[in-house]
Structure 1
Amino acid sequence: MTTTADLDSPTGVLDAVRDVQSSISELEIDKFRLAVEWAVMHPAESVLHAAMVDGTEDELAIAGPGAPLVAEFCVAELALALGMSTDSGKRYLGDAVETRYRLPRLWSRVMRGEVPVWKARQVATRTIGLSEDAARFVDTHVAPVAHRCSYAQIDRAVDHARDLYDPDEAEARRAEQAEHRHVDIRLGDVTTDGLVYIEATTDLADALAFEAQVAAKAHDLLDTHPQLSLDVRRSMALGHLGDSVGRELVIHAHHDVSSTDGLVRVDNTKSWITVEQLGEWCQQEHTRVTIRPVLDLNEHLHTDRYQPTDQLREQVIQTHPTCVFPRCTRPSRRCDLDHTVEWPEGPTDSINLVPLCRGHHRLKTHGGWTYERLGPTAFLWTSPLGQTYLRRT
C-alpha cells in the first residue's frame, strides 16, 4: 500500500502511479471476464418459447457467427452496472463475447495481461461482421502482435480476411463505402454565441458548384461587411444562399426576463444563446420570422383519449428532451409516449406521460422493469433483480 512517506520523492510518486495503473489494468480484465460470465448466465435458451412467440423477448446476437446468443433483456441491467447506456453496454458485452469465443488466442493474451482490454475491443469490434473462418484468420495473425499493432494494421488484417473468406461481403462493403455522401449539422452542439459545426461529404461536381456559390456570396458581403474576414463572410454566405426566395426562421425560444444571465433557451436544439444573438437573427435581411405562442411547460394539459393532443405531446417532448430510462440519450421526438400509470387507470396528461424509446418501452412492458415518478423530471427505475437507478431528465 502507498503511504505518505512513499510520495515524498518523484520516484515514489512514479512507483505509486505504476501500482495504480497495474491495479486498473487488472480490474479491466476482471470486468471483461465478468461480462462473459453474465452472457453465460443469460443464454438464448433462457428466453421462454412463449415470450419469443408473442414478441416480448427475443434471443440476441451480440457477436459474430459461432458465438453464443443471449437473452435480449439481459443487456440493460449489465449496462447500468457498468455505468453505460444500453447501447454502449451491448457493444461492450458483444466485444467480450466476440473475444472469448471467436478470438481465443487474443482472449488468452488479454487474460494474462499481455494485451489491454481496450486494444482487444478494437479488434473484436472489427471482426464481429466476419465469418468464423475469417475471424479465426484475424485471431491467428493479429493476436501475437496485438499489443503493438496499430489500428491501420488491424484494419488491413480484417480486410484481407474478408477478401479471402467473405468475398461477396467484401465487395458489398466496398460498394457501401463508396457511397458515403452526407451533410451533418450538429444542432446538438450549439455554442452560447449561436455557432454550429457543419461538415459534409459530396461528389466533386456538387462541391465545385457549392464552392462557386459560397465564394460569390462571400464576395458580395464584402460591400456591407468590409470589417469581417473572408472566413466569417464565407460562413455567413451559407445562410444567405437562399436569399433570392427568402428564408423562414422558426425558433422555439424561452426567455426568463427575471434572469440576470441574458440567455435564451432554444428548444429546437436544446441549447442556449444570447438575447443579442436572437435579435441579430431576426433582423437579418430576407429573413421571415414566425412567432408562435409560447408553450407553458408548467401548464397541466390533459385529454380523455388514449392518444395525447399535439399540444400535450409537444409539452412532454419539451419537458423531457430524451428517453427517461437511465443513461439513454435517444431524442424524445423519436420515442413513444408512455403512460406512467397504465391507461385508463392513469390519465393522458402532463404528469402521466413520459418519452420512452422503443427498446426501453419494451423493457418496461415485457422485461420486468418498473419505474415511478419522483418529481417533474425525476424517475426511480427498478430492475427485475431489484436494482434501483435514479434518472433525472
Structure 2
Amino acid sequence: MTSGTTTIDAAGVLAVARQARREANAAEARVLAAAVEWAALHQVDDLDDASTLLVEGGRDTGIPIAGEGAPLVSDFAVAEFATALGLSAASGRTLVGLALELAHRLPKLWDRVQDGSLAPWRARRIAEETLCLSVEAAGFVDAQLAAFAHKTGPAQTQRLVETAIATFMPEFARERRERAADQRHCDVNTDQISFAGTSRIDGEVDFVDALDFDDAIAALAQHLADAGSTDTLDHRRAQAVGMLARGELTLELQPGEVSA
C-alpha cells in the first residue's frame, strides 16, 4: 500500500503500535511502583491524617484509599503526588489507592504488572473490585485470577469476587443481601400497550441472576438467528424473553422456521 511517495508497510505499522503499547504499559507500571514507594515514605498511623476515598461532589467517606491491611498514607502526600502527575485530588487518591491495593493485597497480580506480563489497566480494574474485601477474600481473588488476569473480563471478576465474599465474609454477604432485598423487583407493565403491541418490563435483580438471564436470552437470540431470523439483535432478544416465559429453553427450530 502506498500513500503519496511513501510506502506503508501494514506489518510495520502494527509492530510500531505493539511496541508503543508495551512501552506505555511499562511506563504506567513504573508510575504505580513510584506511587507505592511514595506511600511508603509518607505512612501515617492515624486515619484522621490519612488519605481517604471521595464520592461524587467531593464528600470524604472516611474510608482508606486501599483495602484492609494496606498502609495508611498522608493525605497531603497523596495530594502532592497527584499534583506532580497533573492529576486532580480525586484521581490521585484513586491511583495511589489502587497501586497500594495491588502491591499489598494482590501481590501476584502486582508481580505480573511489574514484569510486563499483565497490562496495568487490567490489574487496576480488578483492584477496584477488591477494595471492600477482607485480607483473606482479596488473597483468594489474587490467587485465582493471577494466571488468567490477562484474559479475564469484568463479569468473570465479579463472579469471583462474589464467591470470595460468600466464602470469607458471610456476615458482610448477609448484610448486603438484606440491604439489596428492598431494591429488588420485577415489574411487567401490561396496563400500557404501545401501538406496536409491546409492553415494558423493568427489574432489579441479583447480579448473578442478571448474568444468567443475559446469557439465556443471548443464547436464544442466537438460536433464532441460526434458524433464519432476519430481525435485529434487540428484536430477537425481546423475543427470547417470551420464549423463556413459555419454557421454550430447548426449542428446536428448523432452518427458516422462526418463533412468533
TM over 0.5, yes or no? yes
1:18-167 equivalent positions in 2, closer than 5 A: 18-45=18-45, 58-60=49-51, 61-167=64-170
CA offsets, 1:271-309, max 9 Å, x none? xxxxxxxxxxxxxxxxxxxxxxxxxxxxxxxxxxxxxxx
Inter-partner Cα distance in structure 1 for 2:7 and 2:19? 13
Does the CA-based 8 Å contact 1:6-1:13 persist in structure 2? no
How far, CA to CA, are the matches of 1:25 and 1:127 in structure 2?
A: 22
Q: CA deviation at 1:97?
A: 0.1
How far apart, CA to CA, are the structure 1 residues paired with 2:9 and 2:142? Answer: 44
Distance in 2, Cα, partners of 1:125 & 1:94: 9
The 2-side partners of 1:107 and 1:161 are apart by: 19
Aligned residue number for residue 285 of structure 1 = none
**Alpha carbons of structure 1 residues 81 and 178: separation in structure 2 relative to 1, 3 Å:** farther
Paired AA for residue 148 in structure 1: K
Deviates most, 30-39 or 5-14: 5-14
Q: Which amino acid aligns with 1:100?
A: A
Cα distance in 2 between the residues matched to 1:179 and 1:70: 37
2:16 matched residue in structure 1: 16
Secondary structure of 1:43's partner?
coil
- CA-CA distance at 1:115 after TM superposition: 1.1
Per the alignment, in what secondary structure is the counterpart of residue 70 of structure 1?
coil
Q: Which structure shows the higher helix fraction?
A: 2
Does 1:168 pair with 2:171? yes
Residues 7, 13 of structure 1: 8 Å contact kept:
no
- The unaligned stretches of length 5 or more in structure 1 are 182-202, 220-393
**TM-score, L = length of structure 1:** 0.42
The residue type equivalent to 1:86 in the other structure is A
In the TM superposition, what whole-angstrom CA distance separates every residue of 1:364-384 from its partner, at most 9, and x where no partner exists?
xxxxxxxxxxxxxxxxxxxxx
CA distance in 2, matches of 1:132, 1:178: 27
Q: Which has the higher strand share?
A: 1
| CA deviation string 1:17-43 (max 9, x = no partner) | 222112111111111111111211211
Aligned partners of 2:157 and 2:136: how far apart in 1? 16
Q: Return 160-169 or 36-45, whichever deviates more.
A: 36-45
Check 1:23–1:172 CA distance in 2 against 1; reply closer, same or farther (3 A cut). Answer: same
- One-letter code aligned to 2:98: D
> CA-atom RMSD, angstroms?
3.0
**Gaps (5+ residues) in structure 2?**
52-63, 196-260
Corresponding residue SS for 1:35: helix
Q: Residues 298-337 of structure 1: matches in 2 within 5 Å?
A: none
In the alignment, the residues of structure 2 paired with residue 111 and residue 149 of structure 1 have an alpha-carbon distance, to the nearest angstrom, of 18
SS in 2 for 1:44: coil
Give the direction of change, closer, same or farther, for the CA distance of 1:74–1:7 in structure 2 (3 Å limit).
farther
Q: CA deviation at 1:11?
A: 2.3
1:18 alignment partner AA = R
Q: State TM-score, norm by structure 2.
A: 0.61
What does 1:270-349 correspond to in 2, within 5 Å? none
What secondary structure is seen at the aligned counterpart in 1 of 2:150? coil
Supply the distance in 2 between the matched residues of 1:14 and 1:69 (Cα, whole angstroms): 43
Q: Look up the equivalent residue of 2:129 and give its one-letter code.
A: R
* Cα contact 1:64–1:127 (8 A) shared by 2: yes
Q: Counterpart of 1:25 in structure 2: which amino acid?
A: N
Q: Distance in 2 between matches of 1:104 and 1:204?
A: 41
Task: Evaluate the alpha carbon distance shift between residue 108 and residue 9 of structure 1 in structure 2; reply closer, same or farther with a 3 A threshold.
Answer: same
Cα 1:165/1:80, change in 2 over 3 Å? same
Deviations 1:308-343 (A, max 9, x none): xxxxxxxxxxxxxxxxxxxxxxxxxxxxxxxxxxxx
SS at match of 1:69: coil
Contact 1:162 1:170 in 2 (8 A): yes
The SS at the match of 1:73 is helix
Match of 2:133, SS state, is coil
Kept in 2, the 8 Å contact 1:6–1:12? The answer is: no
